[in-house]
Structure 1
Amino acid sequence: MKFIHSADFHLGMKFEKSSIPQSMSKIRRQRIWTSVEKLIKYSIDENVDYIFLSGDLYNLENFSLSDMNRLIDLFSRTNSQICIIGGNHDPIYKDNLWDMVNISDNLNIFKKDTLEKIEFDDTDVYGISYNKNNYDFMNIFDDLKLDKLKTNVLMIHSDLLNDNNCYMFFDQDKVNNLGFDYVALGHIHKPTIFNDKFVYPGSIEPLSFKEKGMHGAVIGSIVDNRLDIDFLDCSESNFNEFDYNISDKFSYYDLVGTLSKCLVEDKKNYIRINLNGQLEEGLDLDIDSLQESLKKYCEYVEIIDNTESNINLDKIYEFNRNNVLGYFIEETKNLDQEDPVVKRAINLGIKSLMENNL
């Protein structure tokens, strides 16, 4: 059988804590929809048997009934059997959006926070949904016996990277010994594989600078108990960041060249540049202007200024003994100026006072 495994769409996400301007949030939300549409188109073009969607398809507090109708309409356009579990961001409460719409015959939704089984001709799919926002260790597999004449798939929205958490952590060895052919995980936004068949597809669309690299879904097949999987890149965006040291000599075009290497063709590129090093004496970078000039190369660019000015404190103090700047330098003399945090704070303070002619 052929399948697609995806999770963590986070449709409706507001991006309220993002460093990226809120004015860009609407188009970023639409790009998540576009990525999901690509996934469904692939299922149609490739005649996929099953789509396993392992939770956090939407953010409950920001997802409307109209949004749900749009999602149901999209899912109805494929002949694939779609299996869905709820995650910690889209828990399936008693009064849930799935029960407020007419779902198509190909939708199979696990609504309980106990292990359930949905049977198909050649495949048994086991799943469990969140009915609340978090769960402790999940001991739900005792006495479970699989039909070894069929393909067996487990769907669970779980954090297996941290064993002290409240996101349906479970004993991998116990589940592995049960004989599942594939474990379709959700929750972790970076594509990750454990024990060959415990798989996180990652978020379908990168949501922040923490989510660098390729994003999309897992595509696979199980034939005669043999699992083969690959990755389907269906994201609209690419997030990347790099460090750039200006200690030797700052070159705008060298910076552009480094930035260009981080861009992915046919993607909306979001780039973060960490500027490090010590500015040569007399050089003062206008970060806002630099950021503005780099915008033409990508969708969004932000610069984190970690640079240090090459400041001669003694010389500055000599000409500013009797003003605020001089008093500030006097107060810093007893500080540990080798501490990078202290050093940066002093440099920023002096720079601010000099800019304001104090």
Structure 2
Amino acid sequence: MKYHLPLPALLLLIAVTDGCASPGYYLHAVSGQIELLNKRRPVDEVLNDPATAPRTRQQLELLRRLRDFASRELGLPDNRSYRTYADLERPFVVWNVFATPELSLEPKQWCFVFAGCVSYRGYFAQNKAEKFAAGLEQDGYDIYVGGVPAYSTLGWFNDPLLNTFIHRSEADLAGLLFHELAHQVVYVGGDAAFNESFATVVELEGVQRWFERHGTAPQAEAYRQKIRRREQFTALVLQHKARLTEIYASNLGDAEKRAAKQKIFDELRNDYTALKRGWGNHADYDKWFEQDLNNAHLAAIGMYHRHVAAFRKLLAQQGGDLGAFYRAVKELANLPKTERDTMLKREP
């Protein structure tokens, strides 16, 4: 699924508590990671290679500047991550499988080393992801298989820049890079809402500062408009997601719930058409709506934004000082989850 955040990197680490995982899955995960690492080349080497396409060279030069800015101006880790490049010769780095019951929005969970439990299971090969998803579908789950262009190991390896995302816009590249590096600053296993909301605030603040120093007024305004569309899309989906939650929790029979489910998805499409007219027909989310939508497509919508307002206020309380902000977030991360959630719900 394309979340347009810009596409944030979902993690693929070796599953350790999923009783259904086979030795083949572990082997696939390890071999996929090794392939990715073996294809890395230093960015300078790629730039100096006469065979490098002009467009690729241009984008890598931009990404090198963005990477330096991230550490120098945003206080993000100054390490080897995103200082190499790998051409995987495929459109996505991983394919994630999402699954929910037919009449529930509660996603199936898989647990991973360091990343904790998350609502997807990732594969480096599309056919393996689709085969696994087909088995879940036979078991009665709503399923969705989504290609993911960016990938992070949270700093455990020196993650490379990838052909799967380097040709995106300047704003998207900046946001993606800042978002992923933010995960290396703070990451709480098993608390996706906390992790993604924090990284999203770093992303938003970082892109704003980048354009203030190195961009133009039209670029900055185009980025702000894109963020507004993203927020409106998320709000629209969450509104219908809440209605589905009420229906699934009601005393209606299964047949009535299925009919109501279809009706809500139809209304969601109609409401998006109206929303898009207000955007001047920007087609940011057309591909998402072209899918045969089901519960699984909604699994992660809103996760990246649940605590964004709270983290934005926390940054403002630190006077915009990112270093102080990171320290405050680390203090929150050290709290028990219930206490952490309570603190965040107080904001703003």
Provide the TM-score with structure 2 as the length reference: 0.25
Between 1 and 2, higher relative CO (CA 8 Å, sep ≥ 6) is seen in 2
Q: Which has the higher strand share?
A: 1
| Structure exhibiting the larger radius of gyration computed from Cα positions | 1
Q: Which has the higher helix share?
A: 2
